[in-house]
Structure 1
């Protein structure tokens, strides 16, 4: 626009170089050109920089203000030339004004207010010029220019509306694009969050159980297609005594412990290891390097050593051991579930062997698993009333020679497999949920025998830790005994110390109910747990049974003597009866008596006997000369023979 005005101005000025004074024909055009050039420079600069909305608004507002002033200046300059014009040059002035009006309006079509102001100023000047000259031709031209300008303004208005619509459309499009980008980002974020929730463990930020088994399935599928290299190992890790950490220090401290364990596993820096937390204190790993069994044991030892180092958990500094079971994928029908069960079984063997360490699932374990499955099937199909039986082992007060009680022990003579020892079938019954039925079947066989014994002889009956923590089981137990007509004060229930440690609150509640019903409570395997002394004074116990693992080495192990003496002294201080298990020789019997114990149980006195031999055994004991009122030593040879 400014280029058009400047060129037109100098074209008009050239027609008056010899007619008008120099200040009017030369110096004023120069001044006007300088102003126009300054505006040109301003706009050129704006074209080569990033313009903000604020700067653009400022530039457009300046254009609105300046356009009227500049156009007025050029019109006044053109009209001051008319006194020096003839007919031809006056025509040039009219042409200049008309062309300038139309050209400027076209250039300002997107700034409607500036174009309107320019049209008013220039066309007003043109009409004024025509009126002053009194020439009808100029007046007609002025009217034509005004009408043309008006038409152009209408056209510009329509174009401006279209321009506004285009801008609004682009703004809406940009807004929609931004909204689409925002929604895509939100969708991506939600998708990532959903993936994290579905596949990551919140506490440790390790892959979770689902992620682990999908990864395990993918690796097996890859090798089954022949695309993977070699075999791989799966490992299952379990923290030892983790429940004790939660019970003693609280779950917050337990959570910190789990995070520390995860960090230490990650700190192994093995690129071939995939780590996951399966839940609770159970972790799992996959190792792709196909190491040998020896190398795998070395890796397991490294993991144990890494975790066993003391951990600063803010509230406490703890040391935590870990048990690990490994299994190798060999491609022999091992699904992810089978492979995991193999590793878990190896872990169970570590736990059963004393915890802390690692084992690899091998052929011996496979044989045991298959045997356990056969036993499980047989146990599920067994007729308890016919196949189960009970035997009884006496508990004797060696000071008086009297039998205080008989412990009822389970026996299973399977129709399919023959005799199965309790240490084998009891854990299976607990695992598959048959222990309650088995317990009631044994109780129904033992209680009728109790009715045949002398009044002073009690029945000692073992309860499973899996059962006692259930209030429903306790209700059924009490109801069954009432239905059989047995007196609760003649029955002692034995509960293992390990069960106390694992479920102390529930176990304490169950013991309280049994005590209120009149039953005696004995703590079995005493001394094998870690929290006995902490909880013992809080339980309403009648007896404790010192575990035979402390008794069998009494003769040659001074430490065992010290432990047994201490446990007997503890029982006396707590006014709780102490039964020493595992007395198998006269030498051990005499040593236990020297340590302060008098109530004993073991093969030295009698092996477990069938129900029909109990009364004859009691009669033989009476034949030794002992009676109900005179404490005296029983000839142990006759007891053993009986």
Structure 2
């Protein structure tokens, strides 16, 4: 029906097909009910007037209408696929006009046999059936148009041909009313289309909103590397257990940290690291007794074990987890082997953070033990944790300059029998009475982010108290691990030295091997930056831990300080003397000076001198003292 304009065409698309079918299913059965009623009414009125053949047409019309009404019941339409609905609607468009012509033809066949009253009834029935047909197909405009034409044109022409005195008026009335009804149908279809477009738009937006919400939920709760729970999700799961009513069934919280994961990333690449994390996540989930798990960040996972486990059972489960992680992991032809440390804690308290603190304290002890150790947080750990928390709060809240004291230990040159330098040793006190060495509070300074402030304060005070531009002494300060890799730190401390009136060449910066392990490339670049500013650099505690002789060649070092453990063994252990002699010879060939710390006896000093070491420090030469006393001893030695 394209000739009638595109406005009479039904919209295409699955959504519109379903909408048309749903609308027709609520209207078509009522339309067919009208056809059935009118057919039976006409048949009854002409029962004794018309031939039997014409009267038998009514039952056929009734059966066909009843069948179609049943076919278009809403419950039956709702079960059909959209492809079948499209066929049904197209069939209705084709057959609707022909069915109307059959009904009109039957009515025209009865017309000659009726008296004036029966003929008026036919006029009324045709009009009512047409009105019902057009209104019933209001949302199927092409079908309504065909129905209107099939009813109006034949009947109007027939009325004009009968010579009825009111034929013209009747025909005009029917044509006019049909045109009005079709116009109303067109308007209803237009409004229906607009409403359906709005509904589809709203449905799309709701679907997009749901998809966006689902994506946000996945982003907020799913770890992008492992596909499991992320930090937020696993902590939320822990919070749910904390708010539960049964304290006896609260789960065990385990913090799991991979040992050697950085080596995998550095050696095989980040793709290998991601594969390891995904594999570890799957293996954790396969361990019996694990109720939930997720990655907190990096290579650290949080695991919830069944709350019904007792201490022995949860340790068995933790060992099973450790054994599962130790299984080889294949990646691109390589075999990766890792282990992990585990800290366990029975969930208590009211917040997830308190539980994490205790599990983390147990994990810290496990990592110190090494080799994939498992540590259960106990009562003594609670006491130590509370003390650490108290000290951390005191350190974080204090004015660091008021709670800091510097002691100086002399560096002795055996060749000239003179003190040539001072090493600044920091002491911090939470109360002004008890003073702690760096080994006790440096980790707290690192945790609170105050290592940079501490280093700057130590350097400024050392320069002010020792005045190297006057005494000619070399001053040594220790850099924290984070200071070594902190961008721009060389410029910061160089400015402090210049403002104090000293030369960077009079300052020896001592770095530890741990500082170089954090980020070897960045650490090497920073050491070069320190050297370019004029500072001298010493590698502290050499000979302890994982000391590598290649560092002596690759790093810009001025001096290495042999560890106190070597000093303690020099006078009694030939092996220690052999190792020390090799290190001294290699350093001499590389143009690097050597010193040794921790010398406490003359025998140790003599052994060190015999191996070619001339710079020494230790209790044999002087204990750490305040600046005034240390400089007084130095002045006496000079005199």
Give TM-score, length-normalised by structure 1: 0.72
Find the residue that maps to 1:52 and give its secondary structure: helix
* Residue of structure 1 in register with 2:219 after alignment: 197
Give yes or no for contact 1:393–1:408 (8 Å, CA) kept in 2.
Answer: no
Q: Distance in 1 between matches of 2:577 and 2:313?
A: 41
CA shift for structure 1 position 515: 1.3
* Residue of structure 1 in register with 2:328 after alignment: 310
Q: Pairwise mapping of residues 150-161 of structure 1 onto structure 2 (< 5 A)?
A: 150-161=172-183
* Residue of structure 2 in register with 1:237 after alignment: 256
CA shift for structure 1 position 98: 7.0
Task: Flag structure 1 segments of 5+ consecutive residues without an equivalent.
Answer: 15-25, 80-89, 131-138, 624-642
* Residue of structure 2 in register with 1:629 after alignment: none
Relative to structure 1, the CA distance from residue 386 to residue 344 in structure 2 (aligned partners, 3 Å threshold; closer, same or farther) is closer
Find the residue that maps to 2:537 and give its secondary structure: strand
Find the residue that maps to 1:202 and give its secondary structure: coil
Find the residue that maps to 2:294 and give its secondary structure: strand
Give yes or no for contact 2:322–2:340 (8 Å, CA) kept in 1.
Answer: yes
Q: Pairwise mapping of residues 78-117 of structure 1 onto structure 2 (< 5 A)?
A: 92=114, 103-104=125-126, 106-109=128-131, 110=133, 111-117=144-150
Q: Distance in 1 between matches of 2:412 and 2:376?
A: 42
* Residue of structure 1 in register with 2:374 after alignment: 358
Give yes or no for contact 1:584–1:603 (8 Å, CA) kept in 2.
Answer: yes
Relative to structure 1, the CA distance from residue 118 to residue 512 in structure 2 (aligned partners, 3 Å threshold; closer, same or farther) is closer
CA shift for structure 1 position 37: 5.7
CA shift for structure 1 position 180: 4.4
2:318 to 290, 300, 305: 300
1:525 aligns with 2:541: yes
Q: Distance in 2 between matches of 1:127 and 1:575?
A: 126
* Residue of structure 2 in register with 1:497 after alignment: 513
Give TM-score, length-normalised by structure 2: 0.72
Q: Distance in 2 between matches of 1:347 and 1:191?
A: 36
1:545 to 554, 561, 580: 561
Q: Distance in 2 between matches of 1:420 and 1:211?
A: 40
1:507 to 520, 523, 533: 523
The superposition leaves residues 255-283 of structure 1 with CA deviations (integer Å, 9 ceiling, x where unpaired) of 33332322222222435x32122223332
The superposition leaves residues 542-581 of structure 1 with CA deviations (integer Å, 9 ceiling, x where unpaired) of 2233444567668999987886676556545644344455
* Residue of structure 2 in register with 1:83 after alignment: none
Q: Distance in 2 between matches of 1:386 and 1:342?
A: 28
CA shift for structure 1 position 593: 8.1
CA shift for structure 1 position 494: 0.9
Relative to structure 1, the CA distance from residue 569 to residue 319 in structure 2 (aligned partners, 3 Å threshold; closer, same or farther) is farther
* Residue of structure 1 in register with 2:19 after alignment: none
Find the residue that maps to 2:561 and give its secondary structure: strand
Q: Distance in 1 between matches of 2:572 and 2:176?
A: 120
CA shift for structure 1 position 53: 3.8
* Residue of structure 2 in register with 1:424 after alignment: 440
* Residue of structure 2 in register with 1:21 after alignment: none
* Residue of structure 2 in register with 1:281 after alignment: 299
Q: Distance in 1 between matches of 2:533 and 2:341?
A: 41
Q: Distance in 1 between matches of 2:285 and 2:567?
A: 45
Give yes or no for contact 1:544–1:579 (8 Å, CA) kept in 2.
Answer: yes
* Residue of structure 1 in register with 2:278 after alignment: 259
CA shift for structure 1 position 520: 1.8
CA shift for structure 1 position 495: 0.4
* Residue of structure 2 in register with 1:61 after alignment: 94
> For the aligned residues, what is the CA RMSD?
4.8
Find the residue that maps to 2:165 and give its secondary structure: helix
Find the residue that maps to 1:222 and give its secondary structure: coil
* Residue of structure 1 in register with 2:71 after alignment: 48
Q: Distance in 2 between matches of 1:176 and 1:586?
A: 96
Q: Pairwise mapping of residues 183-582 of structure 1 onto structure 2 (< 5 A)?
A: 183-223=205-245, 227-271=246-290, 273-314=291-332, 317-331=335-349, 335-354=351-370, 356-376=372-392, 379=395, 381=398, 384=401, 388-394=405-411, 406-412=422-428, 416-444=432-460, 446-447=462-463, 448-449=465-466, 451=468, 458-471=474-487, 473-526=489-542, 532=548, 537-548=553-564, 567=583, 571=587, 574-581=590-597
- Bigger Cα displacement from structure 2, 61-70 vs 318-327: 61-70
The superposition leaves residues 24-59 of structure 1 with CA deviations (integer Å, 9 ceiling, x where unpaired) of xx9xx69x9899969975994685376634443344
Give yes or no for contact 1:97–1:123 (8 Å, CA) kept in 2.
Answer: no
Q: Distance in 2 between matches of 1:122 and 1:413?
A: 112
Task: Flag structure 2 segments of 5+ consecutive residues without an equivalent.
Answer: 1-34, 78-83, 134-143
* Residue of structure 1 in register with 2:11 after alignment: none
- Bigger Cα displacement from structure 2, 274-283 vs 598-607: 598-607
CA shift for structure 1 position 101: 6.1
CA shift for structure 1 position 493: 1.4
Give yes or no for contact 2:425–2:624 (8 Å, CA) kept in 1.
Answer: no
The superposition leaves residues 236-295 of structure 1 with CA deviations (integer Å, 9 ceiling, x where unpaired) of 233334444444444444333332322222222435x32122223332223341544444
* Residue of structure 1 in register with 2:165 after alignment: 143
Give yes or no for contact 1:127–1:143 (8 Å, CA) kept in 2.
Answer: no
CA shift for structure 1 position 206: 3.0
Q: Distance in 2 between matches of 1:414 and 1:98?
A: 112
Find the residue that maps to 2:515 and give its secondary structure: helix
The superposition leaves residues 301-353 of structure 1 with CA deviations (integer Å, 9 ceiling, x where unpaired) of 3333322333234485433332332333345xx54322222222222333344
Find the residue that maps to 1:322 and give its secondary structure: strand
- Bigger Cα displacement from structure 2, 435-444 vs 300-309: 435-444
Find the residue that maps to 1:424 and give its secondary structure: helix
Relative to structure 1, the CA distance from residue 230 to residue 104 in structure 2 (aligned partners, 3 Å threshold; closer, same or farther) is closer
Relative to structure 1, the CA distance from residue 578 to residue 322 in structure 2 (aligned partners, 3 Å threshold; closer, same or farther) is farther
Q: Distance in 2 between matches of 1:550 and 1:305?
A: 37
Find the residue that maps to 2:320 and give its secondary structure: helix
State the structure with more CA Rg. Answer: 1
Q: Distance in 1 between matches of 2:467 and 2:158?
A: 133
Find the residue that maps to 1:207 and give its secondary structure: coil
The superposition leaves residues 179-232 of structure 1 with CA deviations (integer Å, 9 ceiling, x where unpaired) of 444444333333322322333333323333333333333322324xxx454443
- Bigger Cα displacement from structure 2, 496-505 vs 34-43: 34-43
Relative to structure 1, the CA distance from residue 511 to residue 304 in structure 2 (aligned partners, 3 Å threshold; closer, same or farther) is same
CA shift for structure 1 position 521: 0.9
* Residue of structure 2 in register with 1:136 after alignment: none
- Bigger Cα displacement from structure 2, 363-372 vs 167-176: 167-176
Relative to structure 1, the CA distance from residue 92 to residue 550 in structure 2 (aligned partners, 3 Å threshold; closer, same or farther) is same
